[in-house]
Amino acid sequence: MRSIHNILVTGGAGFIGSHLIQHLVTKYPNYNVVNFDKLTYAGNLENIKSVERASNYTFIKGDILDAQAVTDCMSKHNIDTVVHLAAESHVDRSIEDPNSFLTTNILGTANLLNAFRTRFENGDATLFYHISTDEVFGSLGTEGLFTETTRYDPRSPYSASKAASDHLVSAYHHTYKLPVILSNCSNNYGPNQFPEKLLPLIINNIVEQKPLPIYGDGLNVRDWLYVQDHIEAMDLLIHEAAIGENYNIGGNAEVTNIDLVKMVCNIMDTSLGRCEGESENLITYVTDRKGHDRRYAIDTTKIKTQLNWQASVSLHEGLKKTVNWYLENSDWLENVKTKEYQNYYKKQYSK
Ligand code: NAD
Ligand code: TYD
């Protein structure tokens, strides 16, 4: 078990980061947890309200593109461990506007690595953990799985920017011997996810009885992982992963988009007391995403055999928990649907 005192989490007000912050602050009261987040449209302090007053938690509003702010934050809080999640994360937005993905995801990661390197070389830092995606591996046909040695083949501006950041992290390990680890995870879902991603968007639209947009033929396949399972895997990696290693994380829950959406429709017809099939009637096939990757699927053998981790929440159970959370937190959903969101949504689906 690695020794940790002061841990910096970037992007801790976003979807996955907010679950990680809550987990670390409550499970490890002896760690000082610092959350560095710019609060873009995807960052929301409501997500981490439960820990905002905890004595071992500090929030800093800052931009990872501001190298000085990153350096100052690490030295002020005597950071020994960095878990880096801050990113522009939505593929459709990267197709509309690649540049913010290139700056935040690549240059922002470089700023963190540079600041961490100074601390490491002074003997003050021990771990840089970079969170990445399975999308860096490209698209699979009907057969096969991504392993840790699959060749990188990113195909969207988002995945290309994440691939570049992964390569920087590995390059800093090889060149400067920085103690890094890296994980590539499949599609997460659960509470606090911004309603531009497929699942929260579908849940929101079913509540509002709006069309459920399915790109292309709906037969693209994703592997889905309940966010709390990802957090458990990250906890293990933070404490036990071998330095310089990369790990794939997935839910062993492959499904086509259309089948996934139908599962949500069935769950929600029951929860909302609607007639069977009522929500499915809202399904609307729309123009496909440009360059839409066909299939992602993960081989989780490495993390299972080395660290004894596997997903514990089944897809059906996870979807029910997620739907319940969104129905019980309708205020959260209303508050994030700002003018910016309405404009984005209108632009996205008027094409
Ligand atoms: P998210 O979009 O919900 O949250 C991103 C967070 O980063 C937000 O709080 C935002 O304010 C912050 N941020 C953005 N730009 C910033 C900047 N310049 N400076 C500081 N903070 C900034 O993203 P998420 O879904 O929680 O993803 C977190 C990480 O996990 C990302 O690196 C993403 O690539 C990776 N990942 C996500 C998934 C998924 O399914 N969501 C799967 C695998 C990997
Ligand atoms: P998304 O949640 O954006 O995640 P990613 O692109 O990172 O996998 O999309 C998941 C899948 O759902 C992807 O194949 C695209 C598809 N999709 C739709 O069919 N309709 C939608 O409105 C959205 C947002 C996504």
Average pLDDT over all residues of the chain: 97
| Closest protein CA for atom 5 of ligand 2 | 91
Q: Check pLDDT > 70 for residue 351.
A: no
**Strands 254-256 and 221-226, how do they pair?**
antiparallel
User: Quick check: CB of 195 below 6 Å from ligand 1?
Assistant: no
| DSSP for 154-168, written as a single string | --SHHHHHHHHHHHH
Domain ranges of the chain: 6-188+226-250+296-313
Q: Are 289 and 254 in contact (CB under 8 A)?
A: no
| Closest protein CA for atom 41 of ligand 1 | 188
Distance 90 CA to ligand 1 centre (A): 9
Domain 6-188+226-250+296-313: which CATH class? Answer: alpha beta
| Closest protein CA for atom 6 of ligand 2 | 91
Q: What does the chain come to in residues?
A: 351
pLDDT of residue 346: 77
Q: In the sheet where 81-84 sits, what is the strand order?
A: 57-61, 32-37, 6-10, 81-84, 127-133, 180-185, 246-249
Q: Check pLDDT > 80 for residue 117.
A: yes
Q: Rounded to an integer, what distance in angstroms lies between the CA atom of residue 176 and that of residue 190?
A: 37
Catalogue the long-range contacts made by 267-276 (C-beta closer than 8 Å, 24 or more residues apart): 267/319, 267/320, 267/323, 268/203, 268/206, 268/207, 268/323, 271/323, 271/324, 271/327, 272/206, 272/207, 272/327
Question: What would the two tokens of residue 284 be?
Answer: 């609307």
Give the residue, out of 156, 206, 214, 222, with the most ligand 2 atoms within 8 A of its beta carbon, to mutate for a pocket test: 222
pLDDT in tens, 285-312: 999 999 999 999 999 999 999 999 999 9
pLDDT of residue 138: 97
User: Quick check: CB of 16 below 6 Å from ligand 1?
Assistant: yes
- The widest CA-to-CA distance across the chain, in whole angstroms, is 65
pLDDT of residue 12: 98
pLDDT in tens, 179-216: 999 999 999 999 999 999 999 999 999 999 999 999 99
Distance 83 CA to ligand 2 centre (A): 26
pLDDT in tens, 234-275: 999 999 999 999 999 999 999 999 999 999 999 999 999 999
